[in-house]
C-alpha cells in the first residue's frame, strides 16, 4: 500500500529578446546659398577749366581796383617828389651861376618853356593782353567686376544605436509536494481519538 504521494511542479518562465539595431537619419540634399554682388562702373569727369586774367589789360586802360590805384598813386607821388626836388636843385645851381651872364628871368623863362613842351607819341590801347591759363579735362573710370559667393550647408549623418534587450520572466516557481496517504500512528495507541480497547 502506497502511503506517500510526491507531486512536483516544474519551473515555468518566458524569455523576451530584442535585437540591437542602428538607426540612421539620412540627411537631405545639401543646400547652397549664393550671394552675388553686381558689377559697378563709376565714371567721374572734370570739365576743362579756363582762367582769364585781365588785370594787366584793365590796368593799361586805367580800369584799376582801389588797391591798384593806391599803389600807382604812391609810385607817382614818390616820382613827382623826386622830380620836384631835382628841378629845385637844378634851379638853385643855375641861380648860383648868375655871374656867367644868365639872369633869373632867363632861368624862369626857360623853365616855363620846358613845362609847355609837349611830346606826341602813338600807342595802342589796351597795351596789355589777357592772360589765359587752363586745366585740361579729366576722366576717371573705376570698375568693380562684382563677385559671387556660394555657401554650402551640408547636414551630417545622425546615427542612433539602440542596444539589444534580454528579459526573463518567471511564471511559475518549481515546487515539490509530499503528501502522506496513510493514517497517523499514535503512541501509545490509546491516544488515538477512535481508540477502542480490545
Buried-state track 34-45, b at ≥16 Cβ within 10 A, e below 16: eeeeeeeeeeee
Q: What is the mean pLDDT of residues 110-134?
A: 73
- Is residue 69 situated within a structural domain? yes
Q: Is the pLDDT of residue 91 over 90?
A: no
Question: According to the per-residue pLDDT averaged within each range, which of 1-10, 23-32, 40-49, 97-106 is highest?
Answer: 40-49
Write out 121-181 in H/E/C secondary structure: CCCCCCCCCCEEEEECCEEEEEEECCEEEEEEECCCCEEEEECCEEEEEEEECCEEEEEEC
Q: Is residue 34 part of a domain?
A: no
Residue 90 inside a domain? The answer is yes
User: Domain for residue 1, yes or no?
Assistant: no
Q: Looking at the domain assignment, is residue 127 inside a domain?
A: yes
42 lies in a domain? no
Number of domains present in the structure of the chain:
1
Supply the pLDDT for residue 124: 64
Domain range for 87 is: 47-135
- Under the banding of pLDDT at 50, 70 and 90, the label for residue 118 is low
Mean pLDDT of the chain: 82
Confidence of residue 16 (pLDDT cuts 50, 70, 90): very high
| Res 30: pLDDT | 75
- C-beta separation of 87 from 153 below 8 A: no
pLDDT confidence bin for 175, thresholds 50/70/90: very high
Q: Is residue 161 part of a domain?
A: no
Whether 180 is in a domain gets the answer no
Q: pLDDT tens digits for 25-76? A: 877 777 888 899 999 999 999 999 999 888 888 777 777 778 787 888 888 8
pLDDT of residue 119: 64
Q: At residue 186, does pLDDT exceed 80? A: no
Amino acid at each position: 500500500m502506497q502511503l506517500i504521494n510526491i507531486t512536483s511542479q516544474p519551473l515555468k518562465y518566458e524569455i523576451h529578446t530584442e535585437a540591437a539595431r542602428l538607426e540612421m537619419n539620412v540627411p537631405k540634399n545639401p543646400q547652397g546659398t549664393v550671394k552675388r554682388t553686381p558689377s559697378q562702373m563709376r565714371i567721374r569727369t572734370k570739365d576743362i577749366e579756363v582762367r582769364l586774367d585781365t588785370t594787366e589789360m584793365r590796368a593799361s586802360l586805367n580800369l584799376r581796383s582801389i588797391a591798384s590805384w593806391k599803389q600807382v598813386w604812391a609810385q607817382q607821388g614818390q616820382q613827382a617828389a623826386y622830380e620836384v626836388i631835382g628841378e629845385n636843385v637844378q634851379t638853385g645851381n643855375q641861380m648860383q651861376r648868375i655871374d656867367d651872364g644868365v639872369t633869373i628871368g632867363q632861368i624862369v623863362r626857360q623853365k616855363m618853356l620846358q613845362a609847355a613842351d609837349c611830346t606826341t607819341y602813338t600807342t595802342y590801347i589796351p597795351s596789355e593782353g589777357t592772360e589765359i591759363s587752363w586745366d585740361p579735362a579729366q576722366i576717371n573710370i573705376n570698375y568693380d567686376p562684382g563677385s559671387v559667393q556660394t555657401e554650402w550647408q551640408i547636414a551630417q549623418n545622425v546615427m542612433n544605436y539602440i542596444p539589444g534587450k534580454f528579459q526573463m520572466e518567471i511564471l511559475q516557481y518549481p515546487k515539490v509536494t509530499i503528501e502522506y496517504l496513510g493514517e497517523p500512528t499514535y503512541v501509545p495507541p490509546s491516544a488515538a481519538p477512535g481508540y477502542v480497547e480490545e
